[in-house]
Amino acid sequence: MYEVILFDLDGTLTDSQLGITKSVQYALAKFGIDEPDLEKLTPFVGPPLTHSFQEFYNFSDAEAKEGVAYYREYFTQKGMYENQVYPGIPEMLRELKNQGKRLMVATSKPIFFAEQILAHFSLDRFFFAAAGSNLDGTRMEKAEVIEFALSYLEEIPQDKLVMVGDRKHDIIGAKKNGLDVIAVAYGYGSLEELQQEEPNYLVSSVEELGILLSK
C-alpha cells in the first residue's frame, strides 16, 4: 500500500499536551495574562505558535514573536520533557520498519527540538529523516514542512506516500502536496475538525493505525 510514511509528532507519536500548555502558560504570564486552566491552551498543540498567539490572544506580530521566545525559555528547560510516547507507538514503528517501510517525521515544531525529543524517547532509531520548521520562524506551515520532506523522496511515486497527523493542518498540508493522509482521532484535533477536512482515512487508535499502515 504505502512505502513511505510521514508522521506528525505532537498528538500523533507523543502526548505533549502538558509541556506545551505549561510553556504557553509561562509565556502568557510574561504578558500579565493569568491562565490557570491548561485545558484552554490545548489548541496551541500542533499549529505554529505565532499563529496561535495571534488567533487566541490577539497578539501583534511582534508580540507573537516575543511570546514564542518566552515559550522556549520554559520549553527548553522543562516543557520538552513533560511529554510521553503514546502506548503502542514504539511497537508499531518497529513493526513497520521490519516490514520495509521507510518512516519519516514531518512536524511544524522546530527541528532543533523535534530531534531532541525523538532521541530522548529513543524513537529516532525508527526514522531515516525528520523535517521541521526553523528556529527563525521560517518553514513553519505544515505544507512547507511536507514539501521539504518530499525533497528527500523524489524517487518515490506520490501514491506510495502518506501523511499521518492529528490536526487539520496535517490534512491540509498533505493535500496541498498531493499526498494521501490518515487522520488520527486519539490526538488533539476534534472529530469534527478532522472530518471537515476529509482525510483519506480516519482511525481512532494506535492499534487501528498500525493495521492500516501494514497493508
How far apart, in whole angstroms, are the C-alpha atoms of residue 108 and residue 65? 16
For residue 137, the model assigns a pLDDT of: 85
Beta strands at 201-203 and 180-184: parallel, antiparallel or unpaired: parallel
Both 198 and 103 in a single domain?
yes
Both 75 and 88 in a single domain?
no
Which pLDDT tens digit goes with each residue over 108-145?
Answer: 999 999 999 999 999 999 999 999 999 998 998 999 99
- Asked if residue 2 has pLDDT above 90, the reply is yes
Rounded to two decimals, what is the model's pTM?
0.93
Domain with residue 121: its CATH number is 3.40.50.1000
Both 56 and 138 in a single domain?
no
Q: What's the average model confidence in pLDDT over 189-211?
A: 97
Both 113 and 208 in a single domain?
yes
At which of 36, 54, 81 does a domain end? 81
Both 9 and 32 in a single domain?
no
**How many domains would you assign to the chain?**
2
At which of 61, 81, 101 does a domain end? 81
Max CA pair span of the chain: 52
**Which of 8, 10, 170, 180 is labelled catalytic?**
8
Domain with residue 44: its CATH number is 1.10.150.240
When pLDDT is cut at 50, 70 and 90, the band that residue 215 belongs to is confident
Both 53 and 158 in a single domain?
no
Both 184 and 146 in a single domain?
yes
For residue 140, the model assigns a pLDDT of: 87
Both 91 and 167 in a single domain?
yes
C-alpha grid cell, residue 212: 492500516
Closest CA to 92 of 156, 7, 157: 7
At which of 62, 81, 100 does a domain end? 81
When pLDDT is cut at 50, 70 and 90, the band that residue 154 belongs to is confident
Q: Is 8 annotated as catalytic?
A: yes
Both 192 and 105 in a single domain?
yes
Both 148 and 112 in a single domain?
yes
Residues of the domain holding 155: 4-15+83-213
